[in-house]
Amino acid sequence: MVTGTCFADSGNDVTCVDIDRAKIERLNRGEIPIYEPGLEEMVRENQSAERLRFTTDLVPAVSAASLVFLAIGTPQSDDGAANLTALWSVVDDIAPHLRPDAVVVTKSTVPVGTCAKISLRLKEYTGQDCDVASNPEFLKEGSAIEDFIKPDRVVAGVRREEVGEMLHELYKPFLRTEKPFLVMSPESAELTKYVANALLSTKISFINEMANLCERMGGDINDVRRGIGHDTRIGFAFLFPGVGYGGSCFPKDVRALMKMAEEHGVSPRIMQAVDGVNETQKRVMIEKIGAHFGGNLRGKAIAVWGLAFKPRTDDIREAPALVLVDWLLTTGATVRVHDPEAMENVRSQYGDKLTYSDKAMSALDGADALAIMTEWGDYQRPEFKEIFQRMRSPVIFDGRNLYEPWTMERLGFTYYSIGRPAVG
Ligand SMILES: NC(=O)c1ccc[n+]([C@@H]2O[C@H](COP(=O)([O-])OP(=O)(O)OC[C@H]3O[C@@H](n4cnc5c(N)ncnc54)[C@H](O)[C@@H]3O)[C@@H](O)[C@H]2O)c1
């Protein structure tokens, strides 16, 4: 959606095809099926300018296209590898209808060698060589439009210079600030995406491990962050401790890279550690809450603020908040949840097992503890007096280090956070 909409917005004629009929019907009624800041307005504008269409009808869309982007989901298989079932089904669907000069571009995150395999498969169908390029996507959910229209870089994995030029032309409107357009082989481009996500995940697991050390040794990870971040070799970006990474990309991409490494006889020791640390970190709030209540939460009411895997999205795939919610439900506690955007997605998964609060504050009424799992702006500067009054006992488990421990102590809260001493 984001790729199609941004390309339409820069003046191209775009048709987005999906097999999910309900999704396409909603889009054609003017409803946007995901929450992403700025997307709704951009879709509407381009739909009314007739540059952007949504359809389930693949044949006319493909037979008219000079560029066919594949942006299909590549979720994790049981063995950790990327599941390419949907991708191959689309390749088979488009093959008979491709224009002879069409270029197929993989936007999906796919294992190294996939472009080459798509090329072979298309040749089997068409009897001709077909250009297949890799153009991995680096946008972040929550700022997807902004990231797409102002990328740090664009990577194009191509076999022929002309295909690189065609993609460069397409991206020029987004590269006006001299950000680089990097041309390389499809294999390098495919690997670039995995390496980027692997390193970002590594930073998160690293700082989480250091935060856990701080807690045990009496340090404060925020001070340590300040202490290391000014070193220009280290920096501050992506070194925030928390409740582990989730979402539809990091977990599956780390595991897919591990799988690829193993298949090529390389032991992915760092990635194994990154994944293992993350699995443990997703349970860090469980440990803290369990310990606070002496292992007995029966009859307790626990409020959870934040369900999406990160702020400014309604995406709950692999969200750490749901690991906590699942555990809370096994303890006999009642669980009162709030999220500014992800409530409907959670409701469709959990039904009436949870109590849903429209307002963050009302989730706290009579609560024995509050767990903060996503750092939405809504939770950053709350009225602490009101929180104190609404809760049965003023206990906060802050998985995102939103508040200052000394302030919370002064206000009378028992306050647990990540990598900092508990107070109260
Ligand atoms: N979400 C992100 O932030 C992000 C960022 C960078 C890269 N990526 C990569 O982009 C790809 C897509 O991710 P996503 O989050 O948009 O996935 P998604 O699951 O939200 O969307 C994929 C869409 O593909 C459709 N689809 C499945 N089979 C189809 C078929 N046969 N024909 C037509 N449509 C079909 C689904 O109905 C769905 O709407 C993945 O490979 C992901 O790793 C995602």
Per-residue pLDDT reduced to its tens digit, 163-175: 999 999 999 999 9
CB of 74 within 6 A of ligand 1: the answer is yes
Between CA 257 and CA 271 the distance in angstroms is: 8
* pTM for the predicted model, two decimal places: 0.96
The alpha carbon of 4 and the centre of ligand 1 are apart by a number of angstroms equal to: 12
pLDDT band at 116 (very low <50, low <70, confident <90, very high): very high
Query: Using one digit for the tens of pLDDT, what is the confidence trace for 179-235?
Result: 999 999 999 999 999 999 999 999 999 999 999 999 999 999 999 999 999 999 999
The terminus-to-terminus CA distance of the chain in angstroms comes to 47
Q: Which runs of E-coded beta strand occur in 26-153?
A: 52-55, 67-70, 103-106, 131-134
pLDDT of residue 264: 97
H/E run at residue 170 = helix 161-171
Distance from Cα 71 to the centre of ligand 1, integer Å: 5
Please give the angle made by the CA atoms of 128, 129 and 134, to the nearest 5 degrees.
Answer: 140
Rounded to 5, what percent of the chain is helix, strand, coil?
Answer: 45, 15, 40
Which of 248, 255, 257 to mutate to test ligand 1, by most ligand atoms within 8 A of the CB atom? 248
214 part of the active site: no
Measured from the Cα of 141, ligand 1's closest atom is 3
What per-residue confidence (pLDDT) applies to 236? 96
pLDDT at 186: 98
Q: What b-and-e string marks burial along 237-260, b requiring 16 or more CB atoms within 10 Å of the CB?
A: eebbbbbbbbbbbbbbbbbbbbbb
- Describe the strand order of the beta sheet including 355-356 as a list of residue ranges: 355-356, 334-338, 301-305, 369-372, 395-398, 414-416
Q: Cα–Cα distance between 14 and 8 in angstroms, integer?
A: 6
Dihedrals phi, psi of 75, to nearest 5 degrees: -70, 180
